[in-house]
Structure 1
Amino acid sequence: MLRLPEFDFSDAETNARIFGMPPDLSSRSAGWRCIYFERRHAGQFSTEPHVMQKHYLMVKLNARSEATRIADGRVVKEAQQRGSTAYVPHGCPHQVTYPKSMGELFFISLDPKLVVAVAEQMDPPVRFDGHPVFANSIDPLVTAIGLELDRDLQEGNLHGLLLADAAAQVLAAHLIRLCRGRSSTRESSARLRLSEARLRAVAEYVGANLDQPIRLVDMAAQAGLSQYHFCRAFRAATGLPPHRFVLARRIEVARERLRNRTLSIQEVAFSVGFADAGQFAKRFKKATGLSPREFRRS
């Protein structure tokens, strides 16, 4: 039996061989571990038959494209529109052809070990066997996460690994529910409760480490939870995903420190975890309506 080549879009050589040109944007240099993201466009396009080394998601961005996708022996013609989402599981035979134009889209891939770990952390644990999902329908959650990852990379990877790690957890859980059915993965609401003491420990950890990159695994450890359960419990308790909570805290502390005129704006930026004064100024103005300099004068 002929062995199909394995594709991993996060590998630069494989990516170049498939597409012949670099992506418009990618997470390759961002240091993300469990998730890979890229945005690209192309005209007429076709792949050879292959298998995916990782779990693969495609989200269409332009208005309309037509494709024929072969996955796990099924041949499906796709009428793609903005938000149309395809999912190809790790190890699944796959081929896709765009006879006219591929247009613009996101690719997201997830580490298979991460998906298995999230499945085992569910209550009760589940055994995950993915099946292909064809791009004839819109997936709002995957689209929203893709757009947020895209924005973050355009802004210089503002949230570091925190957003990427949380997005990977949410997408893994979403794929499990998508393939198994939501009723079979319904979990106890007790897992969603985060006590005041644990929430305070997380907030204190964030406050003490604002000048450093903050990782999801470290926030979860303060609460004594897995990353998967922490993401859900934290949002239920605060109304915010972890990366937005951290950003809000950075801005809040920056406001306080800007009132200390002995600190330069760049020193304030570094002290609350921004890579440079320009990145800080952009996010501060978006949050407050004023540049750091204007805020200091007000």
Structure 2
Amino acid sequence: MTAPAQLVTRFAPSPTGFLHLGHAHAALLAWRAAREAGGRFLLRIEDIDSTRCRPEFTEAILEDLCWLGLDWDGPVRVQSRHMADYERTLSALRQRNLLYPCFCTRGEIAREIAASASAPHGPDGPLYPGICLRLSAARVEARLAQGEPHALRLNMSRGLRCLDQPLSFEDAVRGRVVCDPARFGDVVLARKEIPASYHLCVTHDDARDGVTMVTRGDDLLPATDLHRLLQALMNWPEPRYAHHRLLADAAGRRLSKRDGAPTLRDLRASGATPAEIRSLAGWPD
């Protein structure tokens, strides 16, 4: 009889600001799940977006987690140090003709969508209308040879044809969930300023690190459809998922950096203890 796989969870913040109570809730959920099961808890810094991520926030994340009483197993994976890993994945998808270059500006895409009588929408807004998918091979080669800036998009219809069965995933709250990755359209997996997308990096790293349960906010539930497609295309294992509630303020708004949610270091400066923060984050001792 095969022994059950060790539970491996992770916390993967982006260093675009200081941690707040919502982050503490997410980190504690993953940490406790691993520790109570005798498993492993990993820490990953998702800093691919060099336009927004800052090293001082990475240092602050490590400091806040230690102050909160969390420990992790193995070295911290900092995504920006492993760009070659993501380029290899992009190369594998290109070799299977599952990616295509997109030279469109945001303005060109917006005008094409505005001119359409019924532009389809997905979880992230209007879907890409396929402008560059219609370019001839000769035209694509000419624009690439000229060094024209471009993104790499997933050819969704071609990717779906690679599947031999429908996709689904197991969620701790919702049970078995059927996926519909087509609703994302031809998503961008790389662009000039961000050479690998969140979707590609997170699925790559979860597979590489042997993560068996992905715990994250339920705002990312729709993205799991796309992640399952990438896992299937790359023959990566399927983890279980636990999409948890998002903490909200007194007005019912989800806690976020953008809306100025109180940071852990602000709360610490006001005299809060780690035990009090854990309680406020929904995890009393």
TM-score, normalised with respect to structure 2: 0.27
Q: Which has the higher contact order (CA 8 A, sep 6+)?
A: 2
TM-score, normalised with respect to structure 1: 0.26
Larger helix percent: 1
